[in-house]
A and B are shown apart, each in its own frame.
Chain A
């Protein structure tokens, strides 16, 4: 292996040291990625013990696999791939009816038309990121079907590129983009239902606070929803 190539592909890690089993370099790798891998696992599995198992198994496998790691993908992508496969294995074991993430979702009618048309961007940051809001954010992710959830977690939570996400999941760029789009639309929908209510409540108590333009403040029908019967 060429040293220069190793530097580029191993993201600041010495692949040589990792492959020689150097414990200091390996612990640096563990420290860099354990946080992300643990949170990926806990969001995929929604269970702390399972997430811890995935975390440990990922690095045990990585340690053994490093010797043959060919550096063709980034080391982080490779770790996410091991972790994702571990988590999917647990999901399949626990839920025999679990749909494969390879299931094609690129069908015509997979897109759900937005129902919640509420502009809640005006809510203050401390409200959008309150403890309760964070719980809602997590709950919305848990509602996603597995095939969309894992793409969303890799792209938007772990910041992988479209191509890297495709490498982790063996999906084409188009499939990654389509799934990410559907995941985001569903999450937007869920959050709009929740934050829309907060906007309503705020408007009721402080009619002028959320709008700079006075004529806009009178237009309470900015909050519209097609799901009128929706609870």
Chain B
């Protein structure tokens, strides 16, 4: 059992690091998934890495959702493409 004060340096962490991203996407193979979850049960550091990676991905998703194209850029695009009559709808 790895206590919470132990530094992030044991070799399972290193070995499983590359699987975390796929785990976050729910795309990890069953075998690797259960291996990683077993490890997470004992390793607080890796749990923090998983949670903060999930949150990182979530934050980028959230910010991407409220990005809009500036209206002058949209207008020039429609003009350039010769479809400005469709600009209003």
Which A residues fall within an 8 A CB radius of B?
A: 23-24, 26-27, 30, 34-35, 38-39, 52, 55-56, 59-60, 63, 111, 113-114, 117-121, 128-129, 133-134, 137, 141, 156-158, 162, 177-178, 180-181, 184-185, 187-188, 191-192, 219, 221-222, 224, 226
Chain B residue at minimum C-beta to C-beta distance from A184: B21
Asked whether any CB of chain A lies closer than 8 Å to the CB of B36, the reply is no
B18 pairs with A181, CB closer than 8 A:
yes
Which residues does chain A contribute within 8 Å of B52, judged by CB atoms? 118-121, 188, 191-192
A119 pairs with B77, CB closer than 8 A:
no
Asked whether any CB of chain A lies closer than 8 Å to the CB of B56, the reply is yes
A26 pairs with B83, CB closer than 8 A:
yes
Which residues does chain B contribute within 8 Å of A222, judged by CB atoms? 4
Which residues does chain A contribute within 8 Å of B24, judged by CB atoms? 184
CA distance A133 to B60 in the complex (A): 11
B77 pairs with A30, CB closer than 8 A:
yes
Task: List B residues 30-89 near A (Cβ within 8 Å).
Answer: 45, 48-49, 51-57, 59-64, 67-69, 73-74, 76-78, 80-83, 85-86
A184 pairs with B56, CB closer than 8 A:
yes
Which residues does chain B contribute within 8 Å of A128, judged by CB atoms? 55, 59
Which residues does chain A contribute within 8 Å of B18, judged by CB atoms? 111, 178, 181
Which B residues fall within an 8 A CB radius of A?
A: 4-5, 7-8, 13-14, 17-18, 20-22, 24, 27, 45, 48-49, 51-57, 59-64, 67-69, 73-74, 76-78, 80-83, 85-86
Contact with A117, one of B45, B56, B68, B86 (Cβ below 8 angstroms): B45
Report the minimal beta-carbon distance from A67 to chain B, rounded to whole angstroms.
15
Which residues does chain A contribute within 8 Å of B13, judged by CB atoms? 113
Report the minimal beta-carbon distance from A71 to chain B, rounded to whole angstroms.
22
Which residues does chain A contribute within 8 Å of B61, judged by CB atoms? 156-157
With A60-B80, A114-B49, A177-B22 known as contacts, the answer to whether A120 contacts B73 (CB < 8 A) is: no
B64 pairs with A157, CB closer than 8 A:
yes
Which residues does chain B contribute within 8 Å of A181, judged by CB atoms? 18, 20-22
A188 pairs with B56, CB closer than 8 A:
yes
